Amino acid sequence: MLLGTWNLENLYRPGGPFGPKDGAAYETKLAALAAVITELDPTLLGVQEVGDPEALRDLAGMLGDDWHVALSGHPDSRGIRVGFLSRTAMTVLADTTAFPAELRPVQVDDSGVTRAGRGFLAVEVGDGPLRVAVCHLKSKLLSYPDGRFQPRDEGERARYGAYALYRRAAEATALRALADGLLDGDGQGRDVAVLGDLNDEVQAATTQVLLGPPGSEIGTPGYERADQGDATRLWDVAPLIPPGQRYSRVNSGRRELIDHVLVSHRLVHRVTAAGTGLPGDGPPALPSVGADPAERRGAPGSDHAPVWIRVG
């Protein structure tokens, strides 16, 4: 079984303000995405930045087999949402933007919100079963009132940087609550995965929120020792990715691993391989992106590499 996640970067049908400007550019983008998915050959692929539900169905139709599609009904202000492509039928377990009841409103601009900017979608597949949640947390890209990507002054930059961090932390907390429900206190007996674009790296505080009890990370002495925390832990598979491939995006020339696969105790000890890009291809060849997302409007493929695991 190959399980993966991929940010498809602005997957819209042509004609709108964010996607390709014409049908030819759209078909080129779809063909580039389909070629990667076909070669990757995932059993289940979580996807992000689906701006038009019909665009994901167009992509599924190019894959040559009978693929199943599930999509969140909670897009953000640009219309982008998360979803799944699967070889087998899926049962939707949750599609939510809710913060935990104890979490107070979070300031995201000069006001507050009580829910995530994009939905978290959880599905179940197979007889096992396998339960998987997909997410797309708040971007580190800062945007300002009136559609600006540059601040009026450094005070505004600092303030909106804090707002973005508040929101990503709150969304990570909400995602962890969803994972708790999928694990149901039985990580040793349940196949559970949380995957998606976390918009931060392995050691970031927001990523660490998702792991649960510390002390058994891959590569540490506690990894091979069972303890009570195994019932609720998630393991980030990043240390299993070859060091030269340990990135999924290039931001202003800097390689970052911001797309992640996290798995339960029952799954982590059955992972036989992990990587970014395509198996056997070496380090992903990715464009370097900057602060203005409009620069890549209609570009073929994606500015992210897929991140995947193979489970025996």
| Residue range 286-295, pLDDT digits in tens | 999 987 777 8
> According to the model, what pLDDT value does residue 142 have?
87
C-alpha to C-alpha distance for 3 and 43, rounded to whole angstroms: 6
Spatial separation of the C-alpha atoms in residues 218 and 197, rounded to whole Å: 20
Greater confidence, 81 or 16? 81
DSSP-assigned states of every residue in 68-111: EEEE-S---TTS-EEEEEESS--EEEEEEEEPPTTSPPEESSSS
Res 113: pLDDT: 87
pLDDT over threshold 80, residue 12: yes
Per the document, the length of the chain is 312
126-167 pLDDT tens trace: 988 999 999 999 998 888 998 888 999 999 999 999 999 999
List domains and CATH numbers for the chain. Answer: 2-311 (3.60.10.10)
Q: How far apart are CA 244 and CA 260, in angstroms?
A: 16
Contact between 276 and 246 (Cβ < 8 Å): yes
Instruction: Indicate the range of 13-27, 77-91, 167-181 predicted with least confidence.
Output: 13-27
CA dihedral 35, 39, 41, 42 (to 10 degrees): -70
- Whole-model pTM: value is 0.96
